[in-house]
Copies of this chain bind each other. A is one copy, B any other.
């Protein structure tokens, strides 16, 4: 369970945020059971050794950055799952990939909706730590909406069961919900009870090109004001071209923006919705609109959208943003990011879960150019300031981690920050759980 070989522990120093300040951990522990997690936490608590919980290491905010003289507690070997089709629930351990949870549910004709783009390489425990989102969340909600119960191990090693397979339960405070999104700062999740849905219906898909970004963001409001699409995604010209460079699927390289929308309503209703989406896109200036009822054709576009981050990454090192705004401010946010890119002379590509107002500006820079790297860092902060100024959030689905922590107080304000600190102090008085992350 305990690994101290530096050749191995080296691989646990960073997550996908590649935080340059990552330390060298004393050890990596890879427990199999709740009891083993308790043993680790009792030892860490007795010796006041910081513990960084780690899922699959796919986090984008440095929530799993290792600390000098700390422990990395990896849940990667905790991989059991049981699905109960009668209650439509799954009980699983945190180390399973999101895709494996989906697959286990699918065996029973059931569906676990939350679908981060990284679903094949991110763990369900990490999804809970960040309250992860994804593409279908515009209709189906985020991770917290599917978490019915948790077993957590607290800083002192106490194991606590919260919630369970009860569809409604208001006994005691909503502690299950408090732990979702807590980024490993309140406890270690060792077991999860998930709510599942019947399998998703076939989707109809609409793809449209827009001559301006403003036309595309207006079209988003034109759709969301009248219906609930099951997907409503945005890619700017940089992302379109980066994807087309790699996939050669015939995307329009001259478009300023692309919107990708879907409906999974039953029967004819999906095609009806697709027609309404196409109409709203057209009314807002789409230059061409393509609609398909073929799931494979639709999935090709979804795969292209998911591929946008790796495609843009081919152009340089990324600083990956995750800011969100109330939906009517989406155009202001994307426009503001363009201005920051021009001012700081860095390439910034914007992709977005547009229907949620949640954008991922991808700041591209050359790390060997120190001045450019500095400008990229300035842009990173300015984008968060912009979002907060528009009534938005510094993180919609990736979490605060270590990379965004300096900006958190600006969003929450002193009263809410103090409330966060009081909860943290009440649950982890010695501050050994993921210190420096999130709060």
Q: Interface residues, chain A, CB within 8 Å of chain B?
A: 84-89, 130-131, 133, 137-138, 141-142, 144-145, 154, 158-162, 164-175, 177-178, 180-182, 185-186, 197-198, 221, 224-228, 265-269, 272, 324-328, 353, 355-358, 391-400, 404, 408, 411-413, 415-420, 422-427, 438-439
Contact B327 A130 (CB under 8 A): no
Specify which of B87, B89, B397, B426 is in contact with A423 (CB 8 Å cutoff): B426
Contact A356 B167 (CB under 8 A): yes
Q: Which residues of B sit under 8 angstroms from A168, Cβ to Cβ?
A: 133, 137, 142, 324, 353, 356-358, 393, 396-397
Specify which of B88, B174, B181, B269 is in contact with A170 (CB 8 Å cutoff): B181
Contact A160 B427 (CB under 8 A): no
Q: A173-B178, A182-B174, A408-B172 are in contact. Are A166 and B439 (CB under 8 A)?
A: no
24 CB contacts below 8 A, A to B, read: A86-B225, A87-B326, A87-B328, A133-B168, A145-B145, A161-B415, A162-B416, A164-B326, A165-B326, A166-B357, A167-B327, A170-B398, A172-B412, A173-B185, A175-B178, A175-B416, A177-B177, A177-B178, A197-B228, A198-B228, A265-B269, A267-B267, A419-B427, A423-B423
**Complex A-B, nearest 9 residue pairs according to Cβ-Cβ distance, in ascending order:** A177-B177, A426-B426, A168-B396, A266-B269, A169-B393, A167-B356, A160-B415, A165-B326, A422-B426
Specify which of B161, B174, B265 is in contact with A181 (CB 8 Å cutoff): B174
Q: Which residues of B sit under 8 angstroms from A181, Cβ to Cβ?
A: 170, 173-174
Specify which of B171, B268, B396, B426 is in contact with A267 (CB 8 Å cutoff): B268
Specify which of B228, B269, B411, B423 is in contact with A269 (CB 8 Å cutoff): B269
Q: Which residues of B sit under 8 angstroms from A142, Cβ to Cβ?
A: 168
Contact B327 A393 (CB under 8 A): no
Contact A391 B165 (CB under 8 A): yes
Q: Which residue of B lies closest to A426 (CB)?
A: B426
Q: A171-B393, A269-B267 are in contact. Are A327 and B416 (CB under 8 A)?
A: no
Cα–Cα, bound, A225→B167 (Å): 14
Cα–Cα, bound, A165→B228 (Å): 17
Q: Which residues of B sit under 8 angstroms from A169, Cβ to Cβ?
A: 324, 393, 395-396
Cα–Cα, bound, A351→B123 (Å): 41
Specify which of B165, B227, B353, B420 is in contact with A173 (CB 8 Å cutoff): B420
Cα–Cα, bound, A391→B149 (Å): 12
Q: Which residues of B sit under 8 angstroms from A86, Cβ to Cβ?
A: 221, 224-225, 327-328
Q: Which residue of B lies closest to A384 (CB)?
A: B171
Which among A162, A181, A268 has the highest number of chain B CB atoms within 10 Å?
Answer: A181
Q: Which residues of B sit under 8 angstroms from A227, Cβ to Cβ?
A: 198
Q: Which residues of B sit under 8 angstroms from A164, Cβ to Cβ?
A: 326, 391
Contact B171 A394 (CB under 8 A): yes
Q: Which residues of B sit under 8 angstroms from A358, Cβ to Cβ?
A: 167-168
Cα–Cα, bound, A424→B266 (Å): 45
Specify which of B137, B166, B228, B395 is in contact with A324 (CB 8 Å cutoff): B166
Which among A86, A198, A266 has the highest number of chain B CB atoms within 10 Å?
Answer: A266
Cα–Cα, bound, A418→B175 (Å): 12
Q: A86-B327, A168-B397, A327-B167 are in contact. Are A175 and B266 (CB under 8 A)?
A: no
Q: Which residue of B lies closest to A409 (CB)?
A: B172
A63 CB to nearest B CB, Å: 11
Contact A325 B166 (CB under 8 A): yes
Q: Told that A165-B391, A266-B266 touch, could you supply 20 new A-B pairs with CB distance under 8 A?
A: A86-B225, A88-B224, A137-B168, A138-B167, A141-B145, A158-B418, A159-B415, A161-B413, A162-B416, A166-B324, A166-B325, A168-B397, A169-B396, A170-B400, A172-B416, A173-B181, A173-B185, A173-B186, A177-B178, A178-B178
